[in-house]
Amino acid sequence: MPRQVYFYDQPERFVAGTVGQPGARAFYLQASARGRITSVLLEKTQVAALAERIEEVLDEALRRSGGDSVIPAAAPKDLLDTAPLDLPLEQEFRVGTMALAWDSADGCLVVEAQALIEDEEEEEAAEAVFTDDENGPDMLRVRLSGAMARVFAKRALDLVAAGRKPCPFCNLPLDPEGHLCPRANGYRR
């Protein structure tokens, strides 16, 4: 079956969102433009990794430009998107592999999310990962400005943190890798 590539160049909206309650949430990436909506399902850890890596790629591109770039150092507050996912929410595929690249010629971030390959026959058909091979797995490809990429990363990181239980001492989200809380560790201010 031929590959379906859902391509968005500077979409009106590109967000990470959830359906369900913390502990039982489903995570989605959603791109939309001109009445077209594409939603793909992924894991919470994939959302977190994508957002963190976007921040790293943007910081590196900004550093290499010597500060002479259109990439903002932080997400512009006027572009923040806190609206829920657009409806209808129809999953095109479950994400398996993701890739990022900074396109310095066009000054944009390219995000690719490729469908999960579930059997050996499909895996053999997808020899060339992240190419336009017509027999590969379905893919969502989005090109974002630096500002829109920062906004996506901020929302995604906030979304992941929102599902964490708060510390009973300081009320900050508990980090699964450890939480340094002055009150919990016996420190007093």
Q: What is the pLDDT of residues 46-105, one digit of tens each?
A: 999 999 999 999 999 988 888 677 888 888 898 888 889 998 899 999 999 999 999 988
pTM of the model: 0.78
Q: E strands of 10-57, at which residues?
A: 13-19, 26-33, 36-42
Separation CA 61–CA 108 (nearest Å): 10
Reading the block at residue 18, the tokens are: 């959830």
